[in-house]
């Protein structure tokens, strides 16, 4: 399957005029065809410098965002994801809402077999917040995966196996 160079606008060769967003915008996200839709391969993105704005105080919130997914027919283009995540920089929303928004936007874009978004926000006032959102397609296999992964993040048993990959 040949990929069109025109279809990935953010990745254009020789592009030195990248426009960085100043407001949340899911239209920055781009996808490309998965050459191996029958495979069971995990893709992990780790953004260690995510920032957004607290909607109450206007103060910056800092986090490490981990996105894990098993692609179906489409995959996320990484530079477009970087610009998309950057678009949250001046976006005022609570931690949980940022993570849920990311999950919803990515599901809408690529319709993966499975996807999870994990946020590890820097503590404020002595409290750390680690929101988790996930999606599974209608396959029983991925619904079971979602249930088991979600259970592993339950109260008192917080572990993040994929986010510890450096």
Which residue in the list 61, 98, 103, 105 is annotated as catalytic? Answer: 61
Measure the CA–CA gap between 159 and 93, rounded to whole angstroms. 25
Active site residue 72: no
84 touches 65 (CB < 8 A): no
CA dihedral for 95, 54, 64, 46, sign (positive or negative): positive
Nearest CA among 85, 30, 87, 80 for reference residue 63: 85
Six-digit token pair at 10? Answer: 């953010």
Which residue in the list 54, 72, 93, 97 is annotated as catalytic? Answer: 54
Q: List Cβ neighbours of 129 (8 Å cut-off, separation of 6 or more).
A: 95, 96, 119, 121
Active site residue 54: yes
Q: List Cβ neighbours of 147 (8 Å cut-off, separation of 6 or more).
A: none
The residues annotated as belonging to the active site are 54, 61
């Amino acid at each position: 399957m040949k990929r069109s160079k025109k279809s990935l606008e953010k990745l254009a060769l020789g592009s030195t005029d990248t426009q960085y967003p100043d407001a949340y915008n899911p239209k920055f996200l781009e996808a490309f065809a998965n050459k191996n839709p029958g495979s069971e391969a995990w893709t992990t993105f780790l953004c260690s410098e995510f920032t957004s704005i607290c909607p109450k105080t206007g103060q910056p919130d800092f986090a490490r965002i981990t996105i894990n997914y098993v692609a179906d027919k489409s995959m996320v283009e990484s530079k477009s994801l970087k610009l998309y995540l950057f678009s949250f920089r001046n976006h005022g929303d609570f931690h949980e809402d940022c993570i849920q928004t990311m999950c919803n936007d990515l599901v809408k874009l690529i319709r993966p077999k499975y996807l999870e978004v994990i946020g590890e926000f820097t503590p404020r006032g002595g409290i750390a917040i680690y929101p988790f959102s996930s999606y599974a397609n209608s396959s029983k296999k991925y619904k079971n995966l979602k249930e088991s992964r979600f259970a592993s993040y339950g109260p008192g048993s917080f572990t993040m196996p994929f986010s510890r990959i450096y």
